[in-house]
Amino acid sequence: MQSLRFAIVCFALSLFLLLNACKAKENISKTIIVDQSGGGNFTKVQEAIDSIPSNNGLWTSIHVKAGEGSNVTLIQWGDFGSSSDSSTFKMYADNFVACDISFKNTHNHPLLLDVDHNVTWAPAALIQGDKASFHRCGFIGLQDTLADWQRRHYFVNCYIEGAVDFIWGGGQSIYQNCNINVTKSRIGSGNAYIAAQGRGTATDPSGFVFKDCVVFGTGPAFLGRAYGSYSRVVFYESHFDDIITPEGWDAWFSRGKEGTLTNSEVQCMGPGASMLNRVKWEKTLTVEALGQLVNLKSFINQESWIESQPIF
């Protein structure tokens, strides 16, 4: 696809974005085809989204005919300077599914060392709606790539690329079987940080849980740094290449108050998973607390909304 930018602003009660190879269940009420060659209902994705009424209460499929898979179907833009407004893709609607597509912010790709291409906020996607899932999708950027802003999200078999806080926000999310590519080599001497989670209080249900993920690329990189006073990030049964800093974590905004943070690695493996020199304040979770976080049902899927979504 040609470079384009779109934002979901319809606040639909139920919006299903079906892209490429996903197979819908019978509860899809309508399918809208986007084809740049003119063979569909619209030639632009934003036009298709705008056609859905704001009071929509039925699942609607938007099928983008631009090849098969996230390596082929790409929505990209090059805005920068704002951690939210500059995002290539913005999703505010509840009840959302995307499959087999990539979102990319082209700022710093390739990295150009001039005033217009400095390393700064340049998100590829901002996800704010509740009950959103992404299957086999790509998120490509350098700083603040994926703004997992708030509410419940499920990322499965996705690819996420960046160097500075490139998975960040106050979302309540599980990342399962995702490939996480750290591109530290693109930022020179600065530090690389994977996750920057913004949980603000002890009762805030949010947090990032990475299950069965693979972390690779160029380092050294911190697994995360605290974007909120009660930041919560857990890596569970994931594989780390030899790119993780010995300390593992940075307290950042909570320096001196590390006791409120929940940063934890459980049963991780690989050359970057050694715990010998990790920060002393890394949390050791109880079996009950760990189970609550890594279990899909108890952490994000309390209403079985994932099973009710029209995919596969």
Catalytic residue (one of 94, 100, 148, 165): 165
Residue 236, Cβ density class (10 Å: 0-12 exposed, 13-18 middle, ≥19 buried): buried
Answer for the pair 45, 62: CB distance below 8 angstroms, yes or no: yes
Q: Which of 94, 100, 144, 148 is catalytic?
A: 144
Say if strands 60-64 and 102-105 run parallel, antiparallel, or are unpaired: unpaired
- Distance, in Å, from the CA atom of 104 to the CA atom of 124, rounded to the nearest integer, reads 5
How far from 192 is each of 93, 94, 188, CA to CA, in Å? 31, 32, 10
Give phi and psi for 288, each to the nearest 5. -65, -45
- What count of residues does the chain have? 312
Q: Which helix (H) or strand (E) segment is 292 a member of?
A: helix 287-294
The Cα 174–Cα 212 span in angstroms is 11
144 in active site: yes
Question: Are residues 113 and 77 in contact, defined by beta-carbon separation less than 8 angstroms?
Answer: no
- Please say whether the beta carbons of 64 and 103 come within 8 A: no
Residues 14, 19, 25, 30: what is their CA dihedral angle, to the nearest 10 degrees?
60
SS3 content of the chain, % helix, strand, coil (to 5): 10, 35, 55
Assess whether 250 carries a catalytic annotation.
no
Q: Is the previous residue joined to 110 through a cis bond, with omega within 30 degrees of 0?
A: yes
Active-site residue set: 144, 165
